[in-house]
A and B are shown apart, each in its own frame.
Chain A
Amino acid sequence: MAGEGEKKPVLRMVQADAADEGCVTFVLHDEDHTLGNSLRYMIMKNVDVDFCGYTITHPSETKINFRIQTRGGVPATEPLRRGLNELNDVCQHVLNTFQVMLNEPTAHVPDSKTTCLICASKGLFTGPEALHLQQDYTVSNVGRNAPKMIPFFCYLRAVADMWCRDTLL
Chain B
Amino acid sequence: MAAPRTNVDEIRSRVILGEFGVRNVHTTEFPGNYPGYDDTWDMQKFQKNFRIDVVHLDESSMEFDMVGIDAAIANAFRRILLAEVPTMAIEKVFIYNNTSIVQDEVLAHRLGLIPIKADPRLFEYRNTVEESAEEEGSEIDTIQLQLKIKCSKNPRASKDSSDPRELYLNHMVYSKDIRWVPIGNQADVFADSSIGPVHDDILIAQLRPGQELDIIMHCVKGIGKDHAKFSPVATASYRLLPEITLLEPVEGEKKELWYAMCTSSHHHVAALIIIYFFAKVVNSRLDTCSREVLRHEDLKNVVKLGRVRDHFIFTVESTGILPPDVLVTEAIKVLMAKCQRFLSELDSAETV
Contacts and interface: CB of A to CB of B under 8 A. Distances in A.
Interface string A116-147: 01100101100011111111111001111100
A164 interface: yes
B273 A34 contact: no
Nearest to B127: A1
Interface residues of B, number: 86
Contact of B283 (A1, A46, A123, A131): A123
A28 B332 contact: no
Contacts of A154: none
A23 B253 CA distance: 63
A35 B2 contact: no
Given A80-B346, A84-B342, A124-B282, A136 B2 contact: yes
A97 interface: yes
A112 interface: no
Interface residues on A, range: 35 or more
Contacts of B268: 168
B281 A133 contact: yes
Given A94-B52, A117-B285, A11 B342 contact: yes
Given A37-B75, A41-B27, A41-B73, A88 B336 contact: yes
B25 to A, nearest CB: 14
Interface string B331-352: 0110110111111011001111
Interface stretch (B40-48, B144-152, B179-187): B40-48
Nearest to B43: A89
Given A84-B346, A88-B340, A99-B329, A107 B54 contact: yes
A41 B53 contact: no
B234 interface: no
A117 B145 CA distance: 45
Interface string A145-159: 100000000001000
Nearest to B83: A34
A142 B283 contact: yes
A104 to B, nearest CB: 8
Contacts of B2: 132-136
Contacts of A163: 273
A117 B286 contact: yes
B80 interface: yes
Given A123-B282, A128-B276, A135-B5, A37 B339 contact: no
Interface in B29-84: 30-32, 39-41, 43, 46-47, 50-57, 62, 64-67, 69-70, 72-73, 75-77, 79-80, 83-84
A90 B8 CA distance: 26
B73 A102 contact: no
B112 to A, nearest CB: 22
B277 interface: yes
A42 interface: yes
A132 B43 contact: no
B329 A98 contact: yes
Interface in A71-97: 77, 80-81, 84-95, 97
A33 interface: yes
Given A92-B336, A97-B50, A131-B249, A11 B346 contact: yes
B346 A101 contact: no
A113 interface: no
Contacts of B338: 31, 34-35
11 contacts: A34-B79, A35-B342, A45-B39, A94-B52, A97-B52, A118-B286, A123-B282, A131-B248, A131-B249, A141-B53, A145-B53
Given A10-B342, A41-B72, 10 more contacts: A10-B345, A26-B349, A38-B70, A45-B31, A98-B52, A98-B332, A102-B54, A115-B56, A121-B283, A138-B308
Q: 6 closest Cβ contacts across the A-B interface?
A: A135-B2, A45-B41, A41-B72, A108-B57, A88-B339, A38-B76
